[in-house]
Structure 1
Amino acid sequence: MFEQQLALGIGQNVDRILRERADWSNKTVVDLACGDGRTTYVLRSLGATVKPYDIMPEYCKLDGGAEYANIMDGLPIESASVDVVVLQEVIEHLPNHLAALQEINRILKPGGELFLTTPNRSSMASKFAYLCFESEIIRGTPPSAMESVWGDAGERKYYGHLFLMGAQQLRTLSMLAGFTSMHVHRSDKSRTSQWLMVPFYPIVYAMSYRAYRRALRKSTCAIYAREKNEQLKLNVDGRILTNKFLIASLKK
């Protein structure tokens, strides 16, 4: 049903990562903002019990469709009842990242997981695009008010990429929301980012390390030092700097 969509772009990456796992059997999964239902389709084929939700459920192509839910209004799901939540290409559309992550954390069981994808604001290409024109991609312009509402069904507004976030912000907000760890998966590589790594990676590394050393002089707390070390590693990780997409697993 979704073979063509799953063979391209972010769909190809998500399909590969999900199929590499062998622990989907008997897992209870919520697919938030499921869209046409392609990820629910994959997970069901892998043995998971999946409940799809969307702010515009009429676009779901699955048998049985999807239920309506708007994460910003609270989810109609019992607390601590879900093993995995999938939030694919959604968080960059939400005006309150922390509230969304807190709500997802609420419905996850202890030890549960949020599988999240979003445009990679931390890639070298994206950093350069923001430097040039505060845009998402080098050949693009920033989102304007004219083009920022992608879908509008009465009160169900769906915004464009107004709320992009990078790996550092995602990690910090997820910890504030109650998550304990973040693992970033390898995605397709961005060719532009790979080319930009040659002249700019030494600068990024040097400036990141300088900021890290300055931060350590502010406190002798071991916990603070470990946190700053984790931030440094995240900032100079070549995988994150060259990933085309930001795909992360957050553990509760």
Structure 2
Amino acid sequence: MDNKHTQNPKDIKYHVTKYLHRIQDQLQGKTVIDLPAGSGFTSQLLLNMGAKVRAFDLFPEYFKLKGVSCERADVTQGIPVKNNIADMLICQEGIEHFSDQLQVFKEFNRVLKQNGTLIITTPSYSNLAAKFSYIMFESETSSQMPPNEINDIWMDDQSVSTEIYHGHIFLIGLQKLRILARLAGFNIKEIRYVRLSRGSLVLFPFLYPLILIRSLLTYQKHMRKLPKISESKKKEVYQEQLRININPKHLLNKHTFIVFEKEKDSKDVSFKYDEVLKSFDQET
């Protein structure tokens, strides 16, 4: 195993390794899907902890771990395994590359067992520096161009796959991750703090009061709306969103690291509220 990852707190692999060591006892004999598997770093780590690893990647040519087969898989078209087969799925630095993220969440749901764990890590699009960069130039950081066809097409080899390996074109924030997960049958089990974004720390004293006040006012406004929806249901949804929005750790976190739990099969998910839905002949 490459120690440069496990000993560098700036590397997300350091934090994934730390988390997996914390839950090592829960991994013994469990089936874990590693997707995208990349070079095989996390697959090797899981094997060392006694897990049964299934590795997949759009370009398995990069996979270097001997003794483990990495299968080619375009997750938007489906992972080639049966339903409800995995106890855990790790999507490390992958979600920001997928064009149809809701379909990806539904596919993750399909292959996970009931109460299975989904771990997603991705560059933070919710810290203050990222928010500011988006306002300025719709870019990931203030030193980067917005997503474009020069910098953000990382692999396009028709002889290997018809799918393009996109760069960070589909960066996604905590609130969007939350709703996509809910639509696919997951709930948030834990949002882990990784490390400090220094740019966000500089912006924090100026922007946080505005974010806090505006978030609280918006929460109160929406709690007064839709009187036919139960107070408890509105609190359940809006308070979770509020906590995400005003938590200083999320606004200062350099990287996103979320642990989800499969609550139900995606086909069984329903959010039908007659009080909210408009009929087709109703004016908007």
Q: Deviations over 1:7-48 (max 9, x none)?
A: 331111111111122311111100011000111111111111
CA displacement at 1:242 relative to structure 2: 1.0
Larger Rg, first or second structure (1 or 2) = 2
Deviation at 1:85, TM superposition (A): 0.4
Cα deviation code 1:99-139 (max 9, x no counterpart) = 00000100000010111101111111111111111111122
Q: Is contact 2:34-2:43 (8 Å) kept?
A: yes
Question: For the Cα contact (< 8 Å) 1:36–1:60, is it kept in 2?
Answer: yes
Matched residue SS, 1:114: strand
CA contact (8 A) 2:124 2:253 kept: yes
The superposition leaves residues 152-202 of structure 1 with CA deviations (integer Å, 9 ceiling, x where unpaired) of: 221131001111111111011101001133421110111111221122111
Query: Residue 274 of structure 2 corresponds to which residue in structure 1?
Result: none
- Counterpart in 2 of 1:191? 198
Name the stretch that deviates more: 173-182 or 109-118: 173-182
Q: Distance in 2 between matches of 1:199 and 1:89?
A: 30
Tell me, yes or no, if structure 1 residue 121 matches structure 2 residue 133. no
Gaps of 5+ in 1: none
Residue in structure 2 matching 1:146, options 130, 142, 150: 150
Give the counterpart of 2:164 among 154, 157, 167. 157
- SS of structure 1 residue aligned to 2:20: helix
Kindly report which structure 2 residues correspond to 1:1-252, keeping only aligned pairs within 5 A, or say none.
1-8=1-8, 9-21=11-23, 22-64=25-67, 65-154=69-158, 155-220=162-227, 221-222=230-231, 223-252=233-262
Partner amino acid for 1:202?
A: P
Give how far 1:226 is off: 2.2
Number of residues paired by the alignment? 252
Q: Is 2:188–2:258's contact at 8 Å kept on the other side of the alignment?
A: no
> Do the aligned partners of 1:113 and 1:249 also contact (CA within 8 Å) in 2?
yes
Match of 2:281 in 1: none
- For 2:3, the aligned partner's letter is E
Q: What is the CA distance between 1:237 and its match in structure 2?
A: 0.9
Greater displacement, 141-150 / 79-88: 141-150
Provide the C-alpha distance between the structure 2 equivalents of 1:188 and 1:46, rounded to a whole number of angstroms.
Answer: 25
CA distance in 1, matches of 2:254, 2:241: 20
Kindly provide the CA deviation profile for residues 207-232 of structure 1, in whole angstroms up to 9, marking residues without a partner as x: 11111111112123220232111111
Which structure 2 segments of 5+ residues have no match?
Answer: 263-284
Structure 2 counterpart of 1:237, one-letter code: N
TM-score where L is the length of structure 2: 0.86
Find the aligned partners of 2:240 and 2:70 in 1 and give their Cα distance. 39
Shift of 1:146: 2.3
Q: Distance in 2 between matches of 1:7 and 1:90?
A: 22
Identity %: 35
Deviations 1:65-90 (A, max 9, x none): 41111101111011011000010111
- For residues 127 and 82 of structure 1, what CA distance do their matches in structure 2 show? 35
RMSD value, Cα: 1.2
